[in-house]
Amino acid sequence: MPARTSWIPYALIAPSVIFLGALFLVPLVQTIWLSFSAGDGFSLENYQRMAGDLNFSLAVRNTFLLTLVVVPLQVVLALAMATMVTKLDRGRDLALWVLTIPLGISDLAAGLAWLALLQNTGYLNSALYALGLIQGPVGWLSQETPWALFFAIVLAELWRATAIVLVILIAGLQLIPKEFSEAAEIFGAKPWTRFMRITLPLLKPSLQSALILRTVLAFEVFAVVYALGGRNFPVLAGEAYVWQNDNQNYGVAAAYAVLIMAISLAATAVYLRVLRTRPEQLP
């Protein structure tokens, strides 16, 4: 029944197009415009204010540091998890479910969970005390121990956000026919070689998707940091929140937003280039 009814697909996507147009494209343009305006007319004042703020360089440094540490760790961890899970036969579904539980957990809740572990009277300290390693509660999350705080945030993010990389990688692994590994094995390749030379290259498209998604999300990190460190560990999204809600300065907040967007786009472009796969190289 095609030709006569060729208006149907357009009618079906129209509502979502209108919706996304109004609530995504328009605000996107507005944010950019807002960041470049102060008083009346074009001005770079917001950006100047943003850059001149005490917390700005800290926020930039922290966000990048966090992303650069957390994302590679997550990829390695997710690869390890994925390889292990695919080797299971019984209990595979259960293991997979448990490992993907963090997907359903809000970043705020994740922050709270790790707070329980790491706060002064928390479980980590209790365990260390019980083992006799410390005399009394140690503050891991205080302002005096910025590296401990950083480490705590890394842990919490690792815990929370590896699942999404895991899911994408497992789906990608399943697309690789077993026969490739088996053929390599017959020709004498050891497990590590098989992994590096066959599995990993064939996993490139999934790695690309996972990295793009995860990195973009990493630059937006907010609630976990806020839960564990309050304002002791400034990050870009956190600063945007503060400028908007506490300082009521929409312009600077918008400048932060545009900065985050620009960084995300740049990162995406890098991934698309570096992890490019030619279609003829895929199974």
Partner 1 sequence: MTIQAAELPQTTKSRNMALPSARRLLLWTGLAVLLAWVLVPIYFVALGAFGGRLGVFRWPKTIWPTDLSLAAMTQFLAIEGVFNALVNSLIAAGLTVLFSVLLGAPAGYALARYSFRGQNAYRLLVLLTRAFPLAILALPLTVSFIRLGLYDTPFGVSLIHTVLALPFAALVTQSLFMGIPREYEEAAWVFGCTRFQAFMKVVLPLALPGLAATAIFAFVISWNEVFAASILTVRERTLTAYLLRILAESPLHYRFAGGFILIIPSVLFIFAVRRYLFAVWGIASK
Partner 2 sequence: MADIVIDRVVKEFGTFRALQGVSLTVNDGEFVALLGPSGCGKTTLLRIIAGLETQTSGRVVIGGQDVSNLAPRKRGLAMVFQNYAVFPHMTVFENVAFGLRMQKAQQEEVKRKVERAAALLHIESYLDRYPAKLSGGQRQRVAVARALAVEPAVLLMDEPLSNLDALLRLEMRTELKAVLREAGTTTIYVTHDQTEAMGLADRIAVMYGGKIDQIGSPLEIYATPATRFVGGFIGSPPMNFIKVRCSQGMARIGDATLPCPATGKDMELGLRGEDASLAPNGSGIPFDIRVVEPMGSHLLLTGSIDGQPARIVAPPIAKVNAGERVGLTVDPARVTWIDSITGRAIARA
Instruction: Report the interface residues with partner 2, using CB under 8 A.
Output: 1-4
Phi, psi of 42 (to 5 degrees): -65, 135
Contact in structure between 71 and 218 (CB atoms under 8 Å): yes
By a kind-dependent CB cut-off of 5 to 8 A, residue 205 interacts, out of partner 1, partner 2, none, with none
Q: Which does 244 bind (CB under 5 to 8 A by kind): partner 1, partner 2, none?
A: partner 1
CA 165, 258, 75 angle in degrees (round to 5)? Answer: 15
CB-wise, 23 or 196, nearer to partner 1? 23
Interface with partner 1, residue 282, by CB under 8 A: no
Stretches 53-61, 63-71, 82-90, 194-202: which one binds partner 1 (CB under 8 A)?
82-90
CB atoms within 10 A of CB 98: 11
Alpha-carbon Rg for the chain, nearest whole angstrom, is 23
Reduce the DSSP state of residue 40 to 3 states and report it.
Answer: coil
Nearer to partner 1, 93 or 200 (CB): 93
Toward partner 2, which CB reaches closer, 1 or 130? Answer: 1
Binding partner at 168 among partner 1, partner 2, none, C-beta below 5 to 8 Å by kind: partner 1
- By CB under 8 A, name the one of 138, 141, 227, 235 that touches partner 1: 227
Is 42 an interacting residue with respect to partner 1 (CB under 8 A)? no
Name which of 218, 247, 250 is nearest 235 in CA terms. 218
- 16 touching partner 1, by CB under 8 A: yes
Please count the residues of this chain forming the interface with partner 1, following the rule CB under 8 A. 91
Q: Which is nearer to partner 2, 6 or 245 (CB)?
A: 6
Q: Which does 115 bind (CB under 5 to 8 A by kind): partner 2, partner 1, none?
A: partner 1
Taking CB under 8 A as the rule, does residue 27 contact partner 1?
yes
When asked if residue 122 is in the footprint of partner 1 (CB under 8 A), the reply is: yes
Tokens 């498209």, residue located: 205
Direct distance between the N- and C-terminal alpha carbons of the chain, in angstroms, rounded to an integer: 35
Distances from the Cα of 236 to the Cα of 8, 60, 61, 108, 197, angstroms? 44, 6, 9, 17, 38
Q: Where are the beta strands (DSSP E) in 100-226?
A: none
3 binds, among partner 2, partner 1, none (CB under 5 to 8 A by kind): partner 2
Integer angstrom CA distances of residue 59 from 13, 88, 115, 212: 40, 42, 21, 21
The residue from 42, 68, 76, 88 that contacts partner 1 (CB under 8 A) is 88
As given in the structure block, the two tokens for residue 1 are 């029944």
Of partner 1, partner 2, none, which one sits near residue 119, judging by CB under 5 to 8 A according to partner kind?
partner 1
How buried is residue 2: exposed, middle or buried, by Cβ count under 10 Å (0-12/13-18/19+)? exposed
Q: Does residue 201 touch partner 1 according to CB under 8 A?
A: no
Taking the C-alpha atoms of residue 166 and residue 201, their distance in angstroms, rounded to an integer, is 17
Does the footprint of partner 1 cover residue 37 (CB under 8 A)? no
Return the residues of window 127-186 that contact partner 1 according to CB under 8 A.
Answer: 129-130, 137, 159, 167-168, 170-171, 174-175
**Residue 2 or 132: which CB sits closer to partner 2?**
2
